[in-house]
């Protein structure tokens, strides 16, 4: 059942979607279809691959559907001082660059985006890089970059008249979906494998009123069942196969270009889990280049955890032509993904920009996270692979000191407080994981010390723990 079929059974006269400006293009076989013709599971009817959202009018220079770069830059700047919700959103402020809705006033927004771009002065000094920044997507409303994608896809769900949305997820996706569903007045359904629920990860979905079902199956089983459910019932699928999520997730590329006054940094470093993020950022920069908003793309490099590195293996063993799922194991749970949905899109972003794909160890992640913390920036462990990866790229001479580098931090430190506690109390890493890095780790650790309640004892403790 397609969105169009479902809608025809409802009383809506208009879809709320802009079907003229956008279409879907299969990244596998190149088949093009109207957005309304997509299957409920968003798989290509011909080859089963994923779709990209396309804007055919953009390729006609001088055409009326193609945004004018100069005018657009002016409008985008003006909107920054607007008090309208749709302008205050860091996603919908760029609405000409994701013209999927008929009426942007109906966008479901929690004022996502507009995240800070922080100078990382300490790490820049340590790595001898002149210009090093962190774009902190963890500063979104629910604490992760998923919000930027969810505002887009939830607005589509609402425009189509759906009353219920669903995803299979135990983490950041379910939190974002539940929040935006609540905001839109839609019901939300979360499917998770029974047995080992991480309640902390589910707390936000519960808070926002999602219905959570535990199923006697694994994660892939949840996904398969969900595809079946959305095919039978009027429920909108919000897993990352939904191409509209990437339309929102590409907007940090616009924010970054705008922050550099429409020049672009030389290098972008992105954590690699399900690979939607690197895919979306690649799309954002590619589209800006096509529209003449910028004159080049940054190199996009993807960093995975060594215990969850299917894309690294794909590059190493199959020249990125195919990908074999792995059994994922890393404490950086947001990228503990063995079978990433968007790997083909990510490969395209890496290859067309000349970026790299590499992996880092558990100790490297933990050290990098503590170093990011020492800059006053809190992030979840998955975000820290970026700094760990940068160190390797710098050591290998793949990034030079004169280049401008932006790390994409994807989640807030409060998403995984246990990781932070375990690191500082010394219970995070196994002995063999920490081997060879003990001194570095000891210098960064900040356990709470018990001292006598006297000024001298406290001052001695302070002096003793100087980094």
The footprint of a second copy on residues 8-67 (CB under 8 A) is none
Distance between CA atoms of residues 130 and 403, nearest Å: 7
E strands, 272-385, are 299-305, 357-360
Q: How many Cα atoms occupy the beta-carbon half-sphere of 207 within 13 Å? A: 13
Instruction: State yes or no: residue 192 binds a second copy (CB under 8 A).
Output: yes
The footprint of a second copy on residues 308-347 (CB under 8 A) is none
Burial class of residue 78 (count of CB atoms within 10 Å of its CB; 0-12, 13-18, 19+): exposed
Residue from 64, 196, 232, 436 touching a second copy (CB under 8 A): that is 232
Residue closer to a second copy (CB basis): 35 or 252: 252
Instruction: State yes or no: residue 125 binds a second copy (CB under 8 A).
Output: no
Using only C-alpha atoms, the chain has a radius of gyration, in whole angstroms, of: 22
- Tell me how far, at minimum, the Cβ of 233 lies from a second copy, in Å: 6
Residue closer to a second copy (CB basis): 222 or 269: 222
Q: Which residues pair with 115 in a beta bridge?
A: none
Instruction: State yes or no: residue 204 binds a second copy (CB under 8 A).
Output: yes
Give the Cα-Cα-Cα angle 236, 176, 367 (nearest 5 degrees): 135
Instruction: State yes or no: residue 415 binds a second copy (CB under 8 A).
Output: yes
Stretch that binds a second copy, among 92-100, 139-147, 312-320, 390-398 (CB under 8 A): 139-147
Stretch that binds a second copy, among 35-43, 138-146, 276-284, 358-366 (CB under 8 A): 138-146
Residue from 46, 197, 395, 435 touching a second copy (CB under 8 A): that is 197
Distance between CA atoms of residues 254 and 281, nearest Å: 9
Whether 338 and 312 have beta carbons less than 8 Å apart is answered as no
Residue closer to a second copy (CB basis): 25 or 117: 117
- Tell me how far, at minimum, the Cβ of 32 lies from a second copy, in Å: 31
Residue closer to a second copy (CB basis): 61 or 196: 196
What's the gap between Cα 108 and its chain centre?
18
User: And the tokens for 403?
Assistant: 């280049």
285 CB neighbour count, 10 Å cutoff: 26
E strands, 333-423, are 357-360, 404-409
Instruction: State yes or no: residue 207 binds a second copy (CB under 8 A).
Output: yes
Residues in the chain, how many?
Answer: 467
Instruction: State yes or no: residue 414 binds a second copy (CB under 8 A).
Output: yes
Instruction: State yes or no: residue 441 binds a second copy (CB under 8 A).
Output: no
Residue closer to a second copy (CB basis): 23 or 170: 170
Whether 137 and 410 have beta carbons less than 8 Å apart is answered as yes
Residue closer to a second copy (CB basis): 328 or 377: 377
- Tell me how far, at minimum, the Cβ of 133 lies from a second copy, in Å: 12
Stretch that binds a second copy, among 286-294, 307-315, 359-367, 373-381 (CB under 8 A): 373-381
What's the gap between Cα 373 and its chain centre?
20
- Tell me how far, at minimum, the Cβ of 286 lies from a second copy, in Å: 24
Residue from 194, 290, 317, 396 touching a second copy (CB under 8 A): that is 194
Instruction: State yes or no: residue 182 binds a second copy (CB under 8 A).
Output: yes
3-class DSSP assignment, residue 23: strand
> What torsion, rounded to 10 degrees, do the Cα atoms 134, 386, 343, 299 define?
70
User: And the tokens for 92?
Assistant: 């919908």
Residue closer to a second copy (CB basis): 170 or 314: 170
User: And the tokens for 112?
Assistant: 């996502």
Binding-site residue total for a second copy (CB under 8 A)? 97
Distance between CA atoms of residues 75 and 94, nearest Å: 9
The footprint of a second copy on residues 154-173 (CB under 8 A) is 164
Instruction: State yes or no: residue 373 binds a second copy (CB under 8 A).
Output: yes
Residue closer to a second copy (CB basis): 397 or 464: 464
The footprint of a second copy on residues 74-93 (CB under 8 A) is 77-78, 80-81, 83, 85, 88
Closest CA to 389 of 359, 351, 369: 359
Residue from 28, 57, 69, 221 touching a second copy (CB under 8 A): that is 221
């Amino acid at each position: 059942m397609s969105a169009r079929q479902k809608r025809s059974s409802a009383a809506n006269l208009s879809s709320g979607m802009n079907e003229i400006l956008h279409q879907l293009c299969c990244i596998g076989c190149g088949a093009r279809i109207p957005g309304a013709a997509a299957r409920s599971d968003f798989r290509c009817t011909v080859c089963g691959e994923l779709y990209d959202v396309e804007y055919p009018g953009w390729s006609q220079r001088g055409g009326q559907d193609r945004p004018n770069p100069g005018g657009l830059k002016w409008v985008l700047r003006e909107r920054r001082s607007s008090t309208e919700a749709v302008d205050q959103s860091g996603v919908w402020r760029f609405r000409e660059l994701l013209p999927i809705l008929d009426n942007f006033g109906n966008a479901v927004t929690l004022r996502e985006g507009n995240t800070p771009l922080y100078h990382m002065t300490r790490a820049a000094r340590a790595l001898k890089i002149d210009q090093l920044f962190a774009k902190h997507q963890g500063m979104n409303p629910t604490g992760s970059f998923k919000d930027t994608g969810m505002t887009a896809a939830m607005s589509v769900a609402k425009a189509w008249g759906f009353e219920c949305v669903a995803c299979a997820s135990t983490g950041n996706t379910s939190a974002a979906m539940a929040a935006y569903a609540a905001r839109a007045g839609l019901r939300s359904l979360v499917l998770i494998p029974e047995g080992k629920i991480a309640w902390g990860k589910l707390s936000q979905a519960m808070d926002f009123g999602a219905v959570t079902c535990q199923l006697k199956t694994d994660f892939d089983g949840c996904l398969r069942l969900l595809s079946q459910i959305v095919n039978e019932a009027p429920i909108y699928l919000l897993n990352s196969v939904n191409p509209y999520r990437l339309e929102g997730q590409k907007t940090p590329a616009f924010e970054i270009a705008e922050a550099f006054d429409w020049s672009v940094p030389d290098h972008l470093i992105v954590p690699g889990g399900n690979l939607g993020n690197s895919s979306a950022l690649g799309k954002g920069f590619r589209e800006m280049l096509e529209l003449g908003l910028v004159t080049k793309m940054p190199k996009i490099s993807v960093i995975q955890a060594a215990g969850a590195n299917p894309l690294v293996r794909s590059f190493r063993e199959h020249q990125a032509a195919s990908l074999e799922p792995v059994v994922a194991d890393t404490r950086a749970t947001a990228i503990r993904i063995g079978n990433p949905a968007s790997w083909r899109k990510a490969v395209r972003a890496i290859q067309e920009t000349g970026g790299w794909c590499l992996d880092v160890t558990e100790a490297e992640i933990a050290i990098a996270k503590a170093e990011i913390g020492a800059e006053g920036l809190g992030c979840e462990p998955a975000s820290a692979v970026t700094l760990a990866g940068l160190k390797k790229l710098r050591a290998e001479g793949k990034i030079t000191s004169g280049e401008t580098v932006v790390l994409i931090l994807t989640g807030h430190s409060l998403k995984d407080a246990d990781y932070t506690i375990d690191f500082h109390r010394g219970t995070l890493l196994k002995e063999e994981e920490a081997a060879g890095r003990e001194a570095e780790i000891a210098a960064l650790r900040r356990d709470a010390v018990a001292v006598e309640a006297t000024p001298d004892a406290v001052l001695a403790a302070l002096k003793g723990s100087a980094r």
